[in-house]
Amino acid sequence: MRRGFAAMPFLVALLPIIVSSARAENLDAGKSGARLFADSCAACHRSARGLAKGRFRLTLYLFLQQHYTSSADSASALSSYLQSVDTPAAAPARKSSARRSSDRREARPPRPPLPVRGR
């Protein structure tokens, strides 16, 4: 009982530090992804476009959280933003399907092109 009371002054002395560090963590709270990007990323990345590179949102989120943003909320907002402005990156998917169709073409004899409709 006595020891608990003895700790009180220390806790009271620590309170401003605890409160101020909590406030520092919340500096970016409530900012939109676009705002976060303009504030903390645009200095090095001129445009947000093309940064996501078709990555999954979770991959992006983990990357951002690990490398850049201190809070999960900012990382989440930023990854959504980067995805929303990303150029449609269907290139890898398109390439693999193209390869598959060319494989099919090799396996079968060549076919004439489709007849033009409406003739």
For residue 35, give the amino acid letter. R
Exposed e or buried b per residue across 64-80, where buried means at least 16 C-beta atoms within 10 angstroms of its C-beta: bbeeebeeeebbbbbbb
**Which part of the chain contacts ligand HEC (CB under 6 A), choosing from 23-31, 45-53, 89-97, 101-109?**
45-53
Closest distance to ligand HEC from the beta carbon of 42 (Å): 8
Residues 6+ apart with CB under 8 A from 65: 72, 75
Number of residues that bind ligand HEC (CB under 6 A): 13
Q: Is 78 in the site for ligand HEC (CB under 6 A)?
A: yes
Q: Is 49 in the site for ligand HEC (CB under 6 A)?
A: no
For residue 25, give the amino acid letter. E
* Site of interaction with ligand HEC (CB under 6 A): 37, 40-41, 43-45, 51, 53, 63-64, 68-69, 78
